[in-house]
Amino acid sequence: MKPTSSLSTFTSESTDAVNSVGEVHSYRELQQRIHEDLRVQHPEWIEPNGDCPTCESYERRLAESIAIFQSAKGTLAAA
C-alpha cells in the first residue's frame, strides 16, 4: 500500500514512497509539506478565518525537536 502523505518520505515505509511524493531538500520545504498535509488531513482544525492553531503547534514542536537534536549532535561532536 502506498502512503498518501508526503510525511511518508521521512517514515521510510518504502523506496516508492520517496519517489512518489518527492524528496524534501530543506527544512523549510519539510515545514511547508507538514503544514499542507495537516490541513488536508484535518480540515476540522482550520478555523473560519483560515488559521490553524493545531498545525502551528505541530510546527513549533517539530522546530523544538530539531533544535534539541541539533544541540545534542553538536555536543556529541565536541566530545
Q: Could you read off the pLDDT of 36-46 as tens digits, one per residue?
A: 999 999 999 99
Give dist(CA 29, CA 61) in Å, integer.
16
Give the whole-angstrom CA distance, residue 26 versus residue 66.
Answer: 13
Q: Rounded to whole angstroms, what are the CA distances from 70 to 7, 47, 63, 65?
A: 20, 33, 10, 9
pTM, two decimal places: 0.57
Evaluate whether residue 3 is within a structural domain.
no
Residue 24 covered by a domain: yes
Label residues 46-63 b or e (16+ Cβ within 10 Å = b): eeeeeebeebeebbeeee
User: What's residue 54's pLDDT?
Assistant: 94
Q: d(Cα 66, Cα 71) in Å, to the nearest integer?
A: 8
Domain count for the chain, please give it: 1
78 pLDDT exceeds 90?
Answer: no
Is residue 62 a part of any domain in this protein? Answer: yes
Q: Which domain holds residue 34?
A: 8-78
pLDDT higher at 77 or 10: 77
What pLDDT, in 10s, does the model give residues 16-35? Answer: 333 346 788 888 888 889 88
